[in-house]
Copies of this chain bind each other. A is one copy, B any other.
Amino acid sequence: MTSPVKKSKKKSSNGEGEMDYDRSFPKCVDASNWKGVDMAKMQTATTSNGMVMKGDELAVQSLSAQNQCSPEDRQRINVGWVAGPADAKEEYDHKIAVYSQRLGCQMYNFVSYPIGGVKRGFWKPNSTTAVPPPIDLPDVQLQNHLWETYVNAQISPWIDCDSEKEELAALSEVELQKELNYCAYMGLRSAVFRLKHADSPRLARILNQWLWTKNVNLCLWILVPTSAEDLVRLLSDERDCWAVWADFRKLCSNFSSQKLIAGLHLTADIDYEFVDKKLISRWKAEPLATFCVDVDAFVTCKDSQELCLPPAHANLLVELWMSDNSRIMVRGPRDHEISTQVQLQCAQALRSIVRDVSARSSSTPVSGFLVDSNINYVDVLQVPLQPLADNLDSGVYNTFEQDPVKYRRYREAVELAIHDYGESAARPERLVLYILGAGRGPLVTCSIEAERNYNARFRCKRDRLQFEVYVVEKNANAIVTLKYMNQNVWRRRCVIIEADMRDVPSIAAEHGYPQPDIIVSELLGSFGDNELSPECLDGITPLLKPSTISIPQKYTSFVAPIMSLHMHQQIRLCSASYWNRGLPAHGRIGPQLQLDGSYRQNYPQGEHVANMDQIYVAFLRQYCALADPKPVFTFVHPNFENKSNERSASISFEMDRPADLMGFAGYFHMNLYKDITLSIEPSTFSDGMISWFPALIPLRELYRVLPTEKVALYIERKVDDSGVWYEWFIHHTDTDGELHATAVQNRNGESYYMKLH
């Protein structure tokens, strides 16, 4: 057993400098298991695992129960230390492993170190000497992968491209480019910037150009203070810190959140916008993935006498800790060094705050399905199905058939409808049921179950209610399955009709099929009518009796305004690779054969417009709802009066916070029969149902709104001979009462068109 003191003395005598190694260990720690990494070894060993940051797992035992974290928590939750002028010495610039090792002993996973070295990083510009020290943080002192893993680049704090002093601003622009280039040279994965001004156009210009034109895997972390007081700004400036960030990222073209992310710098004082839940929630729509907490913000816990965060700070962290991929950093005071004990307590206090958050978020019921299915659905754009134009495949049918709620409700609805029909005065002995759009037949199976249940409860053997089941499906492939099911499962009792349901009245006339007493269909999309359920069901109306019951009876679509940078970026990102450029897009015009034999989908309206003017489906996570959903369009069946299926609506919302409107989430609520409903509208959501994710109706650009302002979505449902489409735009009444309108999206269905055939 070697004491750490001896170890460190040995190191010193090996010519590793005059570091006081004693100070790098909390006094109370039994360091007998300490597996320190010899720096000299690290430089040469090519097979080293290189755990620069590996400290003593036992150190954690010195903490009270409250702050105790398991070794797993320590690996899982990445806490970094921000090297500051009070604790980082110039000599570390050539011996960063020594410094890192010390921090590892304090349970830190990484260090945010001045990219030009301490001498340059903590230089103070003044009028007499305008030349900063050169960059001096040599790469070869550590293997490349260790830099990548353990070091975050701290851009020199004195760099201030938007300084009022033009000399400093100009110098900063030049020196910032050098530091960015050096980050790229070192292969670092992240660099942190602190916003000093409410407006930083010169900094944004440089970063924007860098992001677009440099092929470098470097993520820029932009730290925003939690108190607007910490920003240089005009007295008249009423923007809050969120708006400062939002304006900054806009100046950076709202660049990909793979490369440009927000961070919050928690100081002792935090503004109301970081306390109020509604205001905080906006950050869930931002690429917020890093936090920096000042040591000054910690307080001593009465019970344990250890450091912890005040409730508001802790709550903010818990609310916004979205995943363990986030990073958190601790920043010491600028003017005096703090003890290693304090360092350690800060790291562990932060871990104990966030350690249970990610466990919480993945335990929601829907997540279970999302995880099981091996496909990542979260925040991924899907194009709504067009079952009329395209045939679904066996795997898609199979997935939908797994829904644990939907078919149970359908069975209940059919059972109730049978009951109402069968228990009528006539007590009929025969019931004609049409399943319209049967797919592989799950509704057939449901209905046969419902028949059996009804007969078991209400009829005896001699007066059984007998079903005649007609099964309509237009997908020729699914017909193969239906025939097999009929033969093997349904005991050949169904009549299978391979046809579009709109042709069924004439087919029925031709074959002498009876009129239905009940029709059952499942034709809804995420936005209700968007898979053309109204048009399909209208097509069968001539065959119905006045008493025919339609399941569903009625459905209504809903919208809610939302914020989400991520979804906006996802839509922008859509584009087809070379071999996929012949795949049909979703507008009126399909791909065209080219002279070279290839096919190509063209976008006369421009690809950006083509992408933004579509309706998508997505399981939304990185978003923030700005108001509760309101109803849009309602359809009732059977539509005996043959009312038009064209609709228009204006749905108005009052805004209650500064925000960037991205578009609208879409939902539906449907009455299958009487009070038996299926819904994905959040307030009436059918728990456990997995068949539908929300729809997404985007705006072309993010749209800034302010509290008390009114936003109205104008949306029209239009129909022509070959299809159906929505057109939409917003009206915005600003605080001055002025009215603004955005351009009409998807005019004439050029980008998103639901084909009737």
Q: Which residues of A contact B (CB under 8 A)?
A: 94, 134-141, 144, 147, 178, 181-182, 184-187, 208-209, 212-215, 251-253, 255-256, 258-259, 391, 393-395, 398, 440, 475-478, 480-481, 483-485, 572-573, 575, 577-580, 582-584, 590-591, 593, 596-599
Q: Is the CB of A480 within 8 A of B135?
A: yes
Residues of B within 8 A of A178 (CB): 476
Q: Is the CB of B598 within 8 A of A253?
A: yes
Given A181-B476, A393-B185, decide whether A578 and B582 contact each other with a Cβ distance below 8 A: no
Residues of B within 8 A of A393 (CB): 184-187
Bound-state CA distance A156–B136 (Å) is 71
Q: Is the CB of A181 within 8 A of B596?
A: no
Residues of B within 8 A of A578 (CB): 572-573, 575
Q: Is the CB of B599 within 8 A of A181?
A: no
Q: Smallest distance from the beta carbon of A442 to chain B beta carbons, Å?
A: 11
Residues of B within 8 A of A480 (CB): 134-139, 182
Q: Smallest distance from the beta carbon of A320 to chain B beta carbons, Å?
A: 25
Q: Is the CB of A185 within 8 A of B591?
A: no
Q: Is the CB of A478 within 8 A of B185?
A: yes
A213's partner among B137, B185, B484, B599 (CB-CB below 8 A) is: B599
Most buried by B among A256, A394, A481, A580: A394
Residues of B within 8 A of A144 (CB): 394-395, 398
Q: Is the CB of A181 within 8 A of B139?
A: no
State the oligomeric state as a number of copies.
2
Q: Smallest distance from the beta carbon of A743 to chain B beta carbons, Å?
A: 15
A182's partner among B134, B477, B598 (CB-CB below 8 A) is: B477
Q: Smallest distance from the beta carbon of A289 to chain B beta carbons, Å?
A: 17
Given A139-B440, A251-B597, A259-B579, 14 other A-B contacts at CB below 8 A?
A135-B480, A136-B483, A140-B481, A140-B484, A182-B477, A184-B391, A187-B395, A208-B597, A213-B583, A213-B591, A253-B597, A258-B579, A573-B579, A575-B578
Bound-state CA distance A213–B591 (Å) is 7
Bound-state CA distance A716–B135 (Å) is 42
Q: Smallest distance from the beta carbon of A386 to chain B beta carbons, Å?
A: 12
6 A-B pairs with CB atoms under 8 Å apart are: A135-B477, A139-B480, A147-B394, A212-B591, A253-B597, A573-B578
Please give me the residue from chain B that is nearest to A94 by CB atom. B484
Q: Is the CB of B579 within 8 A of A186?
A: no
Please give me the residue from chain B that is nearest to A259 by CB atom. B579
A391's partner among B138, B185, B252, B477 (CB-CB below 8 A) is: B185
Please give me the residue from chain B that is nearest to A573 by CB atom. B578
Residues of B within 8 A of A596 (CB): 253
Most buried by B among A135, A147, A212: A212
Bound-state CA distance A572–B578 (Å) is 7
Residues of B within 8 A of A256 (CB): 579
Please give me the residue from chain B that is nearest to A185 by CB atom. B477
The 8 closest A-B pairs by CB, nearest first: A212-B582, A185-B477, A138-B484, A212-B599, A139-B394, A253-B597, A256-B579, A187-B395
Given A476-B181, A484-B141, decide whether A187 and B394 contact each other with a Cβ distance below 8 A: yes
Q: Smallest distance from the beta carbon of A700 to chain B beta carbons, Å?
A: 11
Bound-state CA distance A302–B647 (Å) is 82
Bound-state CA distance A212–B600 (Å) is 8
Bound-state CA distance A22–B253 (Å) is 71
Please give me the residue from chain B that is nearest to A572 by CB atom. B578
Q: Is the CB of B209 within 8 A of A599?
A: yes
Q: Smallest distance from the beta carbon of A367 to chain B beta carbons, Å?
A: 20
Residues of B within 8 A of A187 (CB): 393-395
Bound-state CA distance A140–B255 (Å) is 47
Please give me the residue from chain B that is nearest to A394 by CB atom. B139
A212's partner among B475, B477, B598 (CB-CB below 8 A) is: B598
A255's partner among B137, B579, B591 (CB-CB below 8 A) is: B579
Bound-state CA distance A138–B134 (Å) is 73
Most buried by B among A140, A398, A582: A140
Q: Smallest distance from the beta carbon of A605 to chain B beta carbons, Å?
A: 16
Bound-state CA distance A481–B136 (Å) is 9
Q: Is the CB of A138 within 8 A of B579?
A: no
Q: Smallest distance from the beta carbon of A217 to chain B beta carbons, Å?
A: 10
A485's partner among B136, B140, B185, B186 (CB-CB below 8 A) is: B140
Q: Smallest distance from the beta carbon of A380 to chain B beta carbons, Å?
A: 16
Residues of B within 8 A of A476 (CB): 178, 181
Residues of B within 8 A of A253 (CB): 596-598
Q: Smallest distance from the beta carbon of A439 to chain B beta carbons, Å?
A: 11
Q: Is the CB of B579 within 8 A of A577?
A: no
Bound-state CA distance A184–B139 (Å) is 53
Residues of B within 8 A of A481 (CB): 138-140
Q: Smallest distance from the beta carbon of A25 to chain B beta carbons, Å?
A: 28
Residues of B within 8 A of A213 (CB): 582-584, 590-591, 599
Given A212-B599, A213-B599, decide whether A140 and B440 contact each other with a Cβ distance below 8 A: yes
Bound-state CA distance A215–B394 (Å) is 15
Please give me the residue from chain B that is nearest to A601 by CB atom. B213
Residues of B within 8 A of A584 (CB): 213
Residues of B within 8 A of A593 (CB): 209
Given A393-B184, A477-B185, A597-B251, decide whether A573 and B577 contact each other with a Cβ distance below 8 A: yes
Please give me the residue from chain B that is nearest to A181 by CB atom. B477
Bound-state CA distance A208–B582 (Å) is 11
Bound-state CA distance A717–B213 (Å) is 28
Bound-state CA distance A289–B139 (Å) is 45
Bound-state CA distance A477–B187 (Å) is 12
Residues of B within 8 A of A185 (CB): 391, 393-394, 475, 477-478
Q: Is the CB of A215 within 8 A of B583?
A: yes
Q: Smallest distance from the beta carbon of A145 to chain B beta carbons, Å?
A: 9
Residues of B within 8 A of A599 (CB): 209, 212-213
Residues of B within 8 A of A251 (CB): 597
Residues of B within 8 A of A575 (CB): 577-578
Bound-state CA distance A213–B590 (Å) is 9
Bound-state CA distance A596–B186 (Å) is 32
Residues of B within 8 A of A134 (CB): 480
Residues of B within 8 A of A214 (CB): 583
